[in-house]
Amino acid sequence: MSVHFDYYKVFYYVAKYQNFTKAAHVLLSSQPSVTRCIQNLENELGCRLFIRSKRGVTLTSEGELLYHRVGPAYESILKAEEELNNTVSLHGGSIHIGATETALRCFLLEKLSFFHSQHPDVRVRITTYTTAQAVSDLWEGKIDVAIVVAPISVEPPLKATSVRLVHDCLIAGTQFSNLSGRKISLKETVKYPIVCLASSTLAYHFFENFYASHGLALKPDIELTTADLILPMVEHNLGLGLLPRELAEDSIKNGKVYEIDLEEKLPPRSICAVKDPHRPLNAAARHFLKLLQEDSHS
């Protein structure tokens, strides 16, 4: 029996993701093409490999037996290709990065600037997402790496590595000068209007949990879809703003806003690089990931 190798490649990704559409994304193919390959493989092997449902697919006992052998074999091939790529130059490479706005502005721009100065011919594509969207697209193979802010939850085989800390703070505009020059309890801040990211974001839930841990309810007066809108709102005295200190530093130095000295300190959050260890990356993406992971926590 002689089965086309590409059929086993398609079988591997369908079995891994348990979904024809996700496998098609990773293979840069179409769902009908993937379905056709699996049907051809099943016909040539003379058995059914998958049980199909609305939620996706699961392996039959015959499929499990095949994947037990094909999985390690194909991953060995991927590893061999990765090792071979180590000898390939970065010239002409490309990277597709998915990043949250906070991770981009607090960390990634600095790293991208340095990387571009060293490798100007590498094409970099950046897509901004929510954390959930970035992790989802990484899982589906649409991006090479996701740069997001913790707390996050990733399922194997995805792996998250902390690359820098981000420090949140509470800031106020000039009309809230009565809060300046003294320590303020978190309880006192709930008397004032609060500006923060929308309740659909992980940042909101981080702040919400922080308030709840001190027996308080976070009830913002203004919720925004992007972090870059918080600072101008605070500068115009529309409320106290919850955001990373790194985004407010220039305005603090210029006296447009000031940081409130909270008695209860906000814990730092981690900016994480999330990758799929089972998915081989080109030389440019590997080099960039190494650059990110060389950063020390601050």
**Cα 269–148–196 angle (5° rounding)?**
60
Mean pLDDT of the chain: 90
Selection from 209, 217, 222, 214 nearest residue 173 by Cα: 222
Selection from 47, 77, 72, 75 nearest residue 59 by Cα: 47
Asked whether the beta carbons of 7 and 40 are under 8 A apart, the reply is yes
pLDDT in tens, 145-174: 999 998 888 888 899 999 999 999 999 999
Selection from 149, 93, 96 nearest residue 276 by Cα: 96
pLDDT given for residue 152 in this prediction: 84
pLDDT in tens, 73-98: 998 988 887 766 654 556 667 899 99
Q: How much is the pTM?
A: 0.68
**What would the mean pLDDT of 252-259 be, rounded to a whole number?**
94
pLDDT given for residue 214 in this prediction: 96
pLDDT given for residue 235 in this prediction: 96
- Lowest mean per-residue pLDDT among 25-29, 205-209, 282-286: 282-286
Joined tokens for residue 222: 């203004």
**What would the mean pLDDT of 22-47 be, rounded to a whole number?**
92
Q: Which domains does the chain have, with CATH numbers?
A: 5-85 (1.10.10.10), 94-164+270-293 (3.40.190.10), 168-266 (3.40.190.10)
Residue 298 has pLDDT above 60, yes or no: no
pLDDT in tens, 6-25: 899 999 999 999 999 999 99
pLDDT given for residue 91 in this prediction: 66
pLDDT in tens, 95-125: 999 999 999 999 999 999 999 998 888 889 9
